[in-house]
């Protein structure tokens, strides 16, 4: 795999001095899907806008396919497609024309069969002759994607692609992203829906206060930060954890009806066998056991709520 997008120590201060990006460095491999997570105002849109040439960086460098976004602007920009966070479309323009113009803007020759393919893929073919103002919110978002795809970009940025869309369209969007990935497109998306990152991302980046806190393979991250809990239901509720079990750091479940044991998913020994033996030795009778694994959401909330060092 080769690096298609390279961001080095990128900083952005807006007029007035506010530092929205505080030295972000990130390499993105061709063909991967990276989900950028972060609270409101973290700098996600600023990062995307800077890479896409909508905002100028204060310092640092970005290359796309080896082309510098400042000195080799045209070549870099031609490789990029952007689906912006805010929907803005020419209200009276027909879907077909809107998408066709986007291709033309990049100096690409007209290609009606290409346009047809894109509109069909996005279920917009039937609406191709409708003015964009007659489309639903979800359809407008699809038009934005069609526009972004019109010039065959190799890297696609999706800024909150599923904000405010219904569950069905969200799933459709995930399918579209999977298809694009299969066709070799690299995708960087921002989202507030953690389950979205969990469902489709190869890697996850967490950004907060203009800083990239981490970038990691999603599966690894979930294994590394993920914790598992084992809840042992007791036949008779207890009021406190028996002293003989103190070293296991157990929590008492609701109403004293269970004991909760938290363990590390990476550990060679989870300690479960010992736990169950010791619980029995303490004279407690087990009614049932169940396990829970922390989700990406638990991990994310834990990360962004930690105090800034």
Ligand X SMILES: Nc1ncnc2c1ncn2[C@@H]1O[C@H](COP(=O)(O)OP(=O)(O)OP(=O)(O)O)[C@@H](O)[C@H]1O
CB of residue 43 vs Mg ion: minimum separation in angstroms?
8
Q: Which range touches Mg ion (CB under 5 A), out of 17-25, 26-34, 41-49, 98-106?
A: 41-49
The helix (run of H) or strand (run of E) holding residue 290 is strand 286-293
Q: Which range touches Mg ion (CB under 5 A), out of 42-50, 144-152, 234-242, 288-296?
A: 42-50
Name which position in 34, 35, 37, 44 contacts ligand X (CB under 6 A): 44
Exposure on the CB side of residue 145, measured as CA atoms within 13 A = 27
208 in contact with ligand X (CB under 6 A): no
3-state secondary structure of 247: helix
Look up residue 165 and give its DSSP letter. Answer: -
Q: Which residue is nearest to Mg ion (CB)?
A: 45
Question: Which residues have a Cβ under 8 Å from the Cβ of 229 and sit 6 or more positions away?
Answer: 260, 261, 262, 263, 291, 292, 294
Q: Which is nearer to ligand X, 44 or 218 (CB)?
A: 44
Q: Which range touches ligand X (CB under 6 A), out of 43-51, 128-136, 181-189, 212-220?
A: 43-51
Q: Which is nearer to Mg ion, 49 or 186 (CB)?
A: 49
Q: How many CB atoms lie within 10 A of CB 148?
A: 21
Q: Which range touches Mg ion (CB under 5 A), out of 18-26, 40-48, 147-155, 263-271?
A: 40-48
3-state secondary structure of 61: strand
Q: Are 84 and 75 in contact (CB under 8 A)?
A: no
Q: Which is nearer to ligand X, 18 or 88 (CB)?
A: 18
Stretch 267-306 residues interacting with ligand X (CB under 6 A)? none
- Which of Mg ion, ligand X, none does residue 218 bind to, with CB < 5 to 8 Å depending on kind? none
Q: Are 31 and 181 in contact (CB under 8 A)?
A: yes
End-to-end C-alpha distance for the chain, whole angstroms = 34
> Measuring CA to CA, which residue among 202, 220, 204, 223 is closest to residue 212?
204
Name which position in 26, 42, 52, 99 contacts ligand X (CB under 6 A): 42
Stretch 71-130 residues interacting with ligand X (CB under 6 A)? 85
How many residues touch ligand X (CB under 6 A)? 12
Name which position in 5, 45, 49, 77 contacts Mg ion (CB under 5 A): 45
58, 96, 308 from 211: Cα distances, Å: 15, 40, 10
Which residues lie near ligand X (CB under 6 A)? 14, 18, 20, 38, 40-46, 85
């Amino acid at each position: 795999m080769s690096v298609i997008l390279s961001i080095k120590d990128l900083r952005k201060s807006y007029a007035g001095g506010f530092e929205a990006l505080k030295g972000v460095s990130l390499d993105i491999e061709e063909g991967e899907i990276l989900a950028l997570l972060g609270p409101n105002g973290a700098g996600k849109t600023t990062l995307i806008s800077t890479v896409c040439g909508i905002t100028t960086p204060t310092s640092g460098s970005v290359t796309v396919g080896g082309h510098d976004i400042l000195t080799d602007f045209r070549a870099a920009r031609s490789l990029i497609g952007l689906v912006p966070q805010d929907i803005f479309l020419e209200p009276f323009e027909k879907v077909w024309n809107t998408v066709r113009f986007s291709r033309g803007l990049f100096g690409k020759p007209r290609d009606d069969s290409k346009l047809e393919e894109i509109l069909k893929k996005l279920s917009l073919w039937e609406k191709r002759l409708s003015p964009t103002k007659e489309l639903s919110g979800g359809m407008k978002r699809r038009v934005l994607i069609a526009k972004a795809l019109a010039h065959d970009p190799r890297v696609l940025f999706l800024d909150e692609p599923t904000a405010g869309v219904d569950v069905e369209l969200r799933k459709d969007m995930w399918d579209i992203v999977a298809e694009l990935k299969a066709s070799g497109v690299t995708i960087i998306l921002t989202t507030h829906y953690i389950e979205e990152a969990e469902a489709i991302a190869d890697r996850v980046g967490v950004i907060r206060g203009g800083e990239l806190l981490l970038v990691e393979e999603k599966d690894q991250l979930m294994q590394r930060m993920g914790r598992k809990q084992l809840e042992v239901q007791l036949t008779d509720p207890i009021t406190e954890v028996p002293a003989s079990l103190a070293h296991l750091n157990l929590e008492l479940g609701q109403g004293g009806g269970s004991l909760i044991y938290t363990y590390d998913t990476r550990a060679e020994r989870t300690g479960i066998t010992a736990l169950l033996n010791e619980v029995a030795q303490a004279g407690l009778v087990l009614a049932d056991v169940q396990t829970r694994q922390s989700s990406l959401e638990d991990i994310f909330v834990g990360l962004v709520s930690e105090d800034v060092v």
